[in-house]
Structure 1
Amino acid sequence: MTCVWITRSEPGATRLERALTEAGIESINAPVLTTEIVKEMAPSEEFDVTVFVSEHAVKHATERKWSSIGPVVAVGQTTAEALRSIGLEPVQAAQASSEGILELLEQQYPDAGSVLIVAGADGRRDLDKWLTDKGVHVCTWITYRRILLEPVVDVGACDVIVASSAEALSRIAELCFAHANFNGGQLSVLVPSSRVAEVAASFGFKNIVNSNGADPRTVVTTLKDRLL
């Protein structure tokens, strides 16, 4: 039976584990990252659009008593669901990436003069740069940072690794290639975007599958259609 290593942080790891179990797929829930809040005050000014780049960004922003003023954009399904859980109705990018958010903003909010990006420390800053280059006033509010974990996992027992971000892949590669007999082609790596696929390849993984999304339904469907 195929065994999937779930590497994403909680609470997403447990949601994916539950979905895999319901689909009859064996898994190992062993996150390589967790998060902690960054005590940075929310910007006092108002913005035309607010962009959330992750579920963690939503969680930590609401813990800081953030409240919505204008339209809210979510990078993907899980982030959108987190926003709905606090009573907001976000607009969701068709592509769960910085590129997808940029396309959405250009199409639906072409006159937006200011954008607040709610994100984690050390994440991608491409969206910030692209919008700034277009003359948009951008403020990035850092609400959390990622903390590396050291899970004990029998990599040889895994057939597929589900990696939800480039940051996670760095840790995954470190743990996998620490084994002298590990071969980058011995298992498959499922990633949520083309950019993360490129990162996986740069670390030496050979069998990379892009699910074009990180929510449990998309991951399970991709596993069934392409890897089982």
Structure 2
Amino acid sequence: MRTGHPRITRLRLWITRSEPGASRHAAALSEAGFPCLVHSVLAIEPLAAPAPKGTFQRLIFVSEHAVRRGLPRLRAAMPDLILPEPAYCLAIGPRTAAVLAAAGLNPAAREESASAGAARSDSEALLAHPLLAEVLGLRILLVAGEGGRSLIEDSLRARGAEVERFECYRRVPRLEPLPSGAAHRIEAIVVASGEALPAIRNLWRQAGGADDVWLLVPSTRVAAQALAQGFVNVHDCGAAEVSAVLRALREVKHAGSE
């Protein structure tokens, strides 16, 4: 996914993801020796759609925002919300699973879901989980944000499940420009999702940033989107977690020194 190797010096990073993840990632990356600018390109807003009621055999949370925004409303709509057998709770990625566990929602099932697709934390890895292999006739609740991919619900419906989607938040662009001169100090941009790419591109170009800056993205799908947006040095981290970004940074730094 790389077409050039700009020289890497101190490798200052622009963290673009929404809060609270942005500050958390920046702290970990800074501690590892990579200075960061936290400037989120998307903000999270709650949605007022009514929470679903009834019994579900699977609950799927796609992000920590889905947990923070959706779980309190689910508990209000279903005060006795628990996950008795054979119901299970699943999450995309270890961070979402950790937030679920902290909220007290079936930590044992969370541990199972976190172990699936350990190399990647995306919809495809979730769909490979054994608990979603045979779902014919099951009611599944997907807790997510507005819009986004329909891969999970489409795939589960194709497997015979009845899927209800509960959209409890949305991402909206933040139009605040980058600090003056920031584009000349940033050598890599950390991208959390394809949805953020248009805002990243617009803010970067407004700031005078060059298209050959490194973009560190979480998947091959987002890498292809970044190339389509005109960026030329795109590195697939394989996941959005800090550990994956750190591995990619070391690879990028090595490539830039050649």
- Given the two structures, how large is their TM-score scaled by the length of structure 2? 0.81
Residue 182 of structure 1 and its aligned partner are, at CA, apart by 4.3
Conservation of the 8 A alpha-carbon contact between 1:15 and 1:216: no
Whole-Å Cα distance in 1 between the matches of residues 245 and 55 of structure 2? 36
Whole-Å Cα distance in 2 between the matches of residues 109 and 130 of structure 1? 10
Equivalent of 2:197, from 169, 175, 198? 169
Q: Indicate the structure (1 or 2) with the bigger Cα radius of gyration.
A: 2
Q: Does 1:100 align with 2:125?
A: yes
Query: Residues 37-89 of structure 1: CA distance to partner in whole angstroms, max 9, x if unpaired?
Result: 11222211211111111110000012314344321111112111111111232
Query: Residues 112-133 of structure 1: CA distance to partner in whole angstroms, max 9, x if unpaired?
Result: 2221111000111121112212
Map of 1:156 onto structure 2: 184
Residue 196 of structure 1 and its aligned partner are, at CA, apart by 1.0
Between the aligned residues of both structures, percent identity stands at 33
Conservation of the 8 A alpha-carbon contact between 1:31 and 1:151: no
Whole-Å Cα distance in 2 between the matches of residues 204 and 55 of structure 1? 30
1:1-228 aligned within 5 A: 1-66=10-75, 67-69=81-83, 70-88=87-105, 89=107, 90=110, 91-92=113-114, 93-94=116-117, 95-104=120-129, 107-112=130-135, 113-153=138-178, 154-178=182-206, 182-185=209-212, 187-227=213-253
Conservation of the 8 A alpha-carbon contact between 2:194 and 2:225: yes
* Corresponding letter in the other structure for 2:20: P
Query: Residues 108-164 of structure 1: CA distance to partner in whole angstroms, max 9, x if unpaired?
Result: 343322211110001111211122122211111001011210233222321000010
Conservation of the 8 A alpha-carbon contact between 1:188 and 1:207: yes
Q: Which runs of 5+ in 1 are unaligned?
A: none
Indicate the RMSD between aligned Cα atoms, in angstroms: 1.7
Whole-Å Cα distance in 1 between the matches of residues 46 and 209 of structure 2? 35
Whole-Å Cα distance in 2 between the matches of residues 210 and 33 of structure 1? 21
Whole-Å Cα distance in 1 between the matches of residues 243 and 60 of structure 2? 23
Conservation of the 8 A alpha-carbon contact between 1:19 and 1:220: no
* Corresponding letter in the other structure for 1:221: R
Residue 193 of structure 1 and its aligned partner are, at CA, apart by 1.1
* Corresponding letter in the other structure for 1:188: W
Whole-Å Cα distance in 2 between the matches of residues 227 and 150 of structure 1? 30
Conservation of the 8 A alpha-carbon contact between 1:19 and 1:217: no
- Given the two structures, how large is their TM-score scaled by the length of structure 1? 0.91
Query: Residues 192-225 of structure 1: CA distance to partner in whole angstroms, max 9, x if unpaired?
Result: 1111111111101111111111122322232124
Whole-Å Cα distance in 1 between the matches of residues 16 and 220 of structure 2? 18
Whole-Å Cα distance in 2 between the matches of residues 130 and 111 of structure 1? 12
